[in-house]
Structure 1
Amino acid sequence: MKIIFTGDLFLGGDLLNKPTKEIVKFTSFEYADKRIVNLEQPISDNNLIADKCTLYTGSFAVNQLKQLKIDAVNLAHNHIQDKEKEGIRDTILHLNSSEIGHFGAGKDILEAKKPYYLTDNLCIIGYCDFGRSYLNQVQIATANKAGVNPLRYESVIDDLDQLPEDTKVILYFHWGKEHVWLPTAHDVELARKLLDNNKVSLILGMHCHRVQGYIIHNGKRAYMSLGNFLFPNFFITPPTQIAYPDIIPEKCTITRQYHSVARLTYKKWKTANRVSLTIEYDTETQSVKHIPVIQSDNEPKVEELTGFSKKLVILWIHFLTEMYKIPPNLYCLIENVNFFVVYKLWRFQIFMFYIRQRGFRHCIKNCSTFIRQIISKI
């Protein structure tokens, strides 16, 4: 049996309430025996919206999943609570009623930890990291509260110990810093430690919104980030919430980042955020193959990369993979430099956006206020 795993899937924005049957076009996906995705949203028709950056859609998304022939979804991520705890329960009810499998979140910790079985002796368990400066708005499931399965080494090992001895597991992780090419040294080490466990067959990472390399250890792989598989462009309303305006202005500011805005703004992804890896796993041979795909810039449509673009992405993935082999101290230094440069550039691009949207005087005034606040604390 051949199973396709993908990165982030969002069914809102430009794809809201639209058919999805013909929008993913590549052979491995179409002819897979099973398709597993990271569903980066709750599915709920309630009127509750969390006070944070949000992603969500109504119940029509279930029809879209069925049209895409999705067999199961990962719910362990930082957006599952975007329609509050009721939205988590709604999501699970909608998926259950449509016979779509799910894992990684639940009405309580027992459901969140529950494995999803692909075969009699192969399952998936989903986890979401939390309590990090870069990943902290996460609702953890408890004995009596809905949420995600928390990612900690001890917790994963405990879950693995609960599985039958002959069972193998694929781990779906929502972790890491966004928009960087290199994962944290902590996550690299965690992946290696878990690949040492005989029950772990494969690790698949999400959240970064771009592809990263993969670790080869103990004859197995850990893909640190698969990137955005299908993530349509969408509108943002102040400060940072997704919007579905009834009337779209003729002139609307466009941003390629994700940040607070002063008025209705159209969010489009950069090329680096539209390239992703899909993973083909053969259950008989336990072989793993990655397939680079790309989402179109102006419409929610996914196709396999070909020609020079495909070769370039494969070469880049190979380079990132080799980076994980350098000594830990040197890797940590390079990873920190990468993070520093990427986020300084990101901040500069956001500042330039604010100048376009709010005007130069407003931005200078805000900068002056910020500097005075810093000086007053010295």
Structure 2
Amino acid sequence: MTSLMMVGDLVLDEPDPDFFFEPSRAVLLSADLLVGHVETPYTLRGTELQSDIPAEAADPGKIAALARAGFHAASLAGNHVCDRGAEGIEDTMAALRGNGIGSFGAGQNLVEARQPAVLTRNGLRFGFLSYNCVGPRDSWAGAGKAGCAYVHVLSHYEQEGANPGGPPLTYTFATPATLEAMQADIELLRAEVDVLVVALHKGLVHTPAQLAMYERPVARAAIEAGADIVVGHHPHIARGIEFHKGRPIFHGLGNFVTVTRALNVEKNAHPARLAWAERRRKLFGFTPDPECACYPFHPESRNTMIADFRIGAGGRVSAGFRPVWIRGSGQPEVLGDCERGRAVAAYVEKITRDAGMKAQFAWDGERVVVTDPRAQPQEGMNA
């Protein structure tokens, strides 16, 4: 049995990044394969782009902390990957490569960005692809432009009722050409690997449970093209879990080590980041927990997870997760079958139900196993 563990957003924007991995290090190092999403650029070069709210770049030397925590590969397709332009992408990929960590989802052009990472463990070949579904367009790679692989999602707003200017109905859907390009990549990789994983940067930030209209169709399109596992990241808060054709979709892995002060209102000297820090509290109706000085996210986002897949002979996937709680220090703490662990697991089960999805949850040792109720009915973990 081969273990594949995956975590969500990684931002190492504080001194001593090794400190933040200490409570989870033993579990992370136990994985045969460990993969996360590197959210921001690691470079001392480049010019900060202004098309979106730019993330703060960090010293490439901090990437060594990921290697010491056991990471083998990282997805890069996200909305901040190009915040320091081509140089930022080049330096981030070089830092990962120099620390023995593969990367996928970004490159100096679109052909490079669409290339998979392929790793072998216990005689099984694992293939990884990643796509950004949220923009901005400046982050997307082109024929001669650095950036990330992407699926272009359109938004349409419709007035609801006789209330001009009121809250609209929102419809979102992927453009056929970019969806088909993603599927073509998956189909090409399918013949080369035993287990195929697709990571999607998608979703509504800082919003508990809710999925945008496009999210399930895009994830299902990846499954239909041949993916064995689909995971999501970007909202900075966990999402629920479902299955399509018997294969797991973890719609949002949430945050992991995601430490930064760039989104604090207090002592924020960057005008654009300060304006967004103030605005997002009003837009999404939350105030970060005051005990979390370097973790300025929705209080519910402290409930998070390590996706824990067990791969058997022939590539058969057993889906599950390890419940995790983000301490006030910003450190993720892995929890087992205890009162606190059950509370986090119950949160994941609740947001799954609240989003209208179906999955069965049951404890197996320190891991919560998630199964498709249509394929293998069993008692829920809270029964």
Normalised TM-score (structure 1) = 0.73
1:54-65 alignment, distance < 5 Å: 54-65=55-66
- What is residue 313 of structure 1 aligned with on the other side? 344
8 Å CA contact 1:49, 1:82 repeated in 2: yes
1:216-365 alignment, distance < 5 Å: 216-235=243-262, 236-241=268-273, 268-284=296-312, 285-297=316-328, 299-306=329-336, 307-325=338-356
Runs (5+) with no aligned partner, structure 1:
243-253, 328-378
- What is residue 82 of structure 1 aligned with on the other side? 83
Structure 2 Cα separation of the partners of residues 326 and 225 of structure 1: 13
8 Å CA contact 2:237, 2:298 repeated in 1: no
Q: Deviations over 1:142-179 (max 9, x none)?
A: 12111000124212111122225363410000011101
Structure 2 Cα separation of the partners of residues 85 and 272 of structure 1: 35
How many matched pairs?
304
Q: Give the 3-state SS of the residue equivalent to 1:4 in structure 2.
A: strand
Structure 1 Cα separation of the partners of residues 192 and 108 of structure 2: 29
Segment drifting more, 162-171 vs 216-225: 162-171
Per-residue deviation, 1:323: 4.3
Segment drifting more, 227-236 vs 168-177: 227-236
Q: Give the 3-state SS of the residue equivalent to 2:128 in structure 1.
A: strand
Structure 2 Cα separation of the partners of residues 27 and 98 of structure 1: 19
Q: Deviations over 1:294-327 (max 9, x none)?
A: 2211x23221135333223322322332345479
Structure 2 Cα separation of the partners of residues 103 and 76 of structure 1: 8
Per-residue deviation, 1:137: 5.4
Q: Does 2:222 correspond to 1:194? A: yes
- What is residue 179 of structure 2 aligned with on the other side? 153
1:154-193 alignment, distance < 5 Å: 154-165=180-191, 167=193, 168-180=195-207, 181-193=209-221
Identity of aligned residues (%): 22
For 1:290, give the aligned amino acid: F
Structure 1 Cα separation of the partners of residues 356 and 106 of structure 2: 33
Per-residue deviation, 1:21: 7.8
Structure 2 Cα separation of the partners of residues 60 and 280 of structure 1: 28
Per-residue deviation, 1:74: 0.8
Q: Does 2:102 correspond to 1:101? A: yes
Q: Give the 3-state SS of the residue equivalent to 1:5 in structure 2.
A: strand
Structure 2 Cα separation of the partners of residues 45 and 309 of structure 1: 40
Q: Does 2:38 correspond to 1:39? A: yes
For 2:270, give the aligned amino acid: P
27 and 137 in structure 1: CA distance in 2 versus 1, 3 angstrom threshold? same
Per-residue deviation, 1:22: 5.2
Per-residue deviation, 1:18: 4.4
Structure 1 Cα separation of the partners of residues 119 and 342 of structure 2: 32
Q: Deviations over 1:179-234 (max 9, x none)?
A: 1121112211222333233x210100000110110121211111111111111141
Q: Give the 3-state SS of the residue equivalent to 1:77 in structure 2.
A: coil
**In angstroms, what is the RMSD of aligned CA positions?**
2.8
8 Å CA contact 2:206, 2:298 repeated in 1: no
Q: Give the 3-state SS of the residue equivalent to 1:200 in structure 2.
A: coil
Normalised TM-score (structure 2) = 0.72
Segment drifting more, 142-151 vs 27-36: 27-36
Per-residue deviation, 1:2: 0.9
8 Å CA contact 2:295, 2:330 repeated in 1: no
Structure 2 Cα separation of the partners of residues 23 and 241 of structure 1: 29
Structure 1 Cα separation of the partners of residues 65 and 25 of structure 2: 18
16 and 155 in structure 1: CA distance in 2 versus 1, 3 angstrom threshold? farther
More helix by share: 1
Runs (5+) with no aligned partner, structure 2:
152-177, 263-267, 284-292, 359-383
For 1:280, give the aligned amino acid: D
Bigger radius of gyration among the two = 1
Structure 1 Cα separation of the partners of residues 128 and 35 of structure 2: 10
Q: Deviations over 1:58-79 (max 9, x none)?
A: 1221221222121111110011
224 and 66 in structure 1: CA distance in 2 versus 1, 3 angstrom threshold? same
8 Å CA contact 1:258, 1:267 repeated in 2: no
Per-residue deviation, 1:138: 4.5
Structure 2 Cα separation of the partners of residues 172 and 84 of structure 1: 22
59 and 233 in structure 1: CA distance in 2 versus 1, 3 angstrom threshold? closer
- What is residue 133 of structure 2 aligned with on the other side? 129
62 and 319 in structure 1: CA distance in 2 versus 1, 3 angstrom threshold? closer
Structure 2 Cα separation of the partners of residues 159 and 80 of structure 1: 21
